Structure 1
Amino acid sequence: MPFPGAVADRDDAAYVLTGAPLDATTTFQPGTRFGPERVRRFAATYDDYDRHTDSFFSDLGVHDAGDVPAWDALDDYLDHLTAELRAAVIDDAVPLLLGGEHTVTWAGVRATDPDVLVTLDAHLDLRDAYDGNPLNHACVVRRCLDGLGDDEAEDAEQYPTVDEVVVLGARTGSPEEWERADAPDVTAVAPEDVADWTANFDGVDDRDVYLSVDIDGADPGFAPGTGTMEPFGLSPREMRDAVRAVAPHCVGVDAVEVNDRDDGQAAALAGKLLREAVYAHADAR
């Protein structure tokens, strides 16, 4: 089923939603391959009308382009997904990406070439490699910042990177990740500080932002259907407020790391946050 309210024709779309059911490097509980389908299904109960922006989702020009089925060659898949998302950018539409594991965010960043990545996440995801794999989902923020390196990327222009990263809700990482997070191009905001960060956020000096919502940024009591649960996280309302603040500055948005290990709580939250991003972005336009 298409995402509820995503009724615009592709040629007329202001937003193009694409599913990326990648489940290749999950390190604990797999199941992100079911994420796009579950988010669509559990978003079916939401009213079309949004009181906060006085708008109807079905009027905002969202088109659901379906899923890009995943395959084993991870680097090839990410290249293909990047091209699919870039097609929306070329048509002056904002890509909306439904994961799948967090690795797919690198395709979103490569397609939109933002200046800043803001991610809601329990984990820093700043590892240079995990289990020897630089494309593991635990490395996605590092890839968005530092690329693959000249020795691994034949054409550096194929792998655009961001100038700055903000991780909202960060509460775990390796010593090496926390050391990388101390650099000037990374801001890690603890869960207890996210509300203040949101209240004081006033854009990023006209720079473009890509927003990634890893559902494990939420406390697992609210969203247990994710691969690597981490307690002491964000409330849904804190996530909503951050999404509303950041979305107007976005050139792309994703929601990732939903799996099938709960009764729909994680999928319902991811779908709601994605809708909040569209409402806020469209209202700012």
Structure 2
Amino acid sequence: MGFPGAVAERAAADYAIVGAPLDASTTFQPGTRFGPERIRRFARTFDDYDRRTDYHFSDCAVHDAGDVRAWDDAVEYLEFLGGSLADLARDDAVPLLLGGEHTVTAAGVRATDPDALVVLDAHLDLRDDYDGNPWSHAAVTRRALDGDPDDDPLSTVSGTADRAVILGARTGSAAEWERAKQDDVTVVAPEDTADWEADFADESVYLSVDIDGADPSVAPGTGTMEPFGLAPREMRDVVRQVAPHAVGFDAVEVNDRDDGQAAALAGKLLKEFVFSHADA
């Protein structure tokens, strides 16, 4: 089943949903391969109409392109996924990516080549590698900024972000916090996120929602839960602010280990993104 209300044909789409069920480097609790299906399923309860914008989701020209089936070679998969998303972007459809582990954001950034990456996340994800893997979900923001530390295997989709804003981050290694001191990274603590204001002028932005940015009390269905996180309304307000500047969006790290709370939040934030982007 496709995402509810995503009824536009591919050729007429202003937005295109793509599922990316990659589950290769997830740590602690795997299951992100079920994320795209669960997000679609738990979005079925939402009304089509949005009172704030006076839009119907089904009138926003959203197409559901289905899933890009994942396989064992994550780097090869990311290259293929990035090419698929780049095709959508070239046809003026904003890619809406449903993960899958957070690594898939690298493909979204490579496809859309934004000036800035905005991430809602509990973790900095600024490691150069995790357990020797530079394409781990724990290194995705570093990859989006710096590319591959050696030879870039995603060179066919070569965009990177000039800077990153990480909202809700509350944990990371000492080396990650050191990397976060550089001029191309801004970290906004959970307690400061409600007061954060988007200031992108003419910059293009890719927005990534790692569902573990939320407090695990409201979204326990994720691999690496981290207490003292964001409230859903705080995440919604960030999405509303960033969407008008965005060239791409994803919701990632949803797994099948709760009763649908994480998937419902991810699906609702996707709809908030579309309504806010369309309204702008």
Flag whether TM exceeds 0.5 (same fold): yes
SS at match of 1:66: strand
For residues 180 and 29 of structure 2, what CA distance do their matches in structure 1 show? 26
- Are 2:75 and 2:154, in contact at CA under 8 Å, matched by a contact in 1? no
Match of 2:38 in 1: 38
Match of 1:242 in 2: 238
- Are 2:116 and 2:205, in contact at CA under 8 Å, matched by a contact in 1? yes
Match of 2:166 in 1: 167
Choose the corresponding residue for 1:209, options 196, 205, 210. Answer: 205
- Are 2:113 and 2:158, in contact at CA under 8 Å, matched by a contact in 1? no
TM-superposed CA distance for 1:160, in Å, is 2.2
TM-superposed CA distance for 1:221, in Å, is 0.2
- The reply to whether residue 177 of structure 1 matches residue 176 of structure 2 is yes
- Are 2:20 and 2:68, in contact at CA under 8 Å, matched by a contact in 1? yes
Match of 2:49 in 1: 49
For residues 276 and 160 of structure 2, what CA distance do their matches in structure 1 show? 25
- The reply to whether residue 68 of structure 1 matches residue 64 of structure 2 is no
Unaligned segments of structure 1, at least 5 residues: none
Please tell me the root mean square deviation across aligned C-alpha atoms, in Å: 1.0
SS at match of 1:196: coil
Match of 2:152 in 1: 153
For residues 36 and 71 of structure 2, what CA distance do their matches in structure 1 show? 16
SS at match of 1:16: strand
TM-superposed CA distance for 1:157, in Å, is 7.0
For residues 156 and 91 of structure 2, what CA distance do their matches in structure 1 show? 21
Please tell me the residue identity of whatever aligns with 2:276.
Answer: A
Post-superposition Cα deviations, 1:124-147, rounded to whole Å, max 9, x if no partner, equal 000000010000000000000000
TM-superposed CA distance for 1:153, in Å, is 2.0
TM-superposed CA distance for 1:154, in Å, is 6.5
Residues 193 and 148 of structure 1: CA distance in aligned 2, closer, same or farther (over 3 Å): same
For residues 11 and 213 of structure 1, what CA distance do their matches in structure 2 show? 27
For residues 212 and 219 of structure 1, what CA distance do their matches in structure 2 show? 17
For residues 240 and 90 of structure 2, what CA distance do their matches in structure 1 show? 25
- Are 2:88 and 2:94, in contact at CA under 8 Å, matched by a contact in 1? yes
SS at match of 2:194: helix
Match of 1:110 in 2: 110
Q: Percent of aligned pairs with the same residue?
A: 71
- Are 2:75 and 2:153, in contact at CA under 8 Å, matched by a contact in 1? no
- Are 2:120 and 2:208, in contact at CA under 8 Å, matched by a contact in 1? yes
Give the alignment of 1:73-84 within 5 angstroms.
Answer: 73-84=73-84
Normalised by the length of structure 1, the TM-score is 0.97
Match of 2:58 in 1: 58
- The reply to whether residue 269 of structure 1 matches residue 268 of structure 2 is no
Match of 2:217 in 1: 221
Post-superposition Cα deviations, 1:78-116, rounded to whole Å, max 9, x if no partner, equal 010001101111111100000000000000000000000
Match of 2:140 in 1: 140
Between the two proteins, the alignment pairs up a number of residues equal to 280
For residues 81 and 154 of structure 2, what CA distance do their matches in structure 1 show? 18
Please tell me the residue identity of whatever aligns with 2:63.
Answer: H
Post-superposition Cα deviations, 1:45-98, rounded to whole Å, max 9, x if no partner, equal 000000111100000000000000000011110010001101111111100000
Post-superposition Cα deviations, 1:199-245, rounded to whole Å, max 9, x if no partner, equal x32x3121100000000000000000000000000000000001000
Post-superposition Cα deviations, 1:261-280, rounded to whole Å, max 9, x if no partner, equal 00000000000001000000
Match of 1:193 in 2: 192
Please tell me the residue identity of whatever aligns with 1:3.
Answer: F
Normalised by the length of structure 2, the TM-score is 0.98
SS at match of 1:131: coil
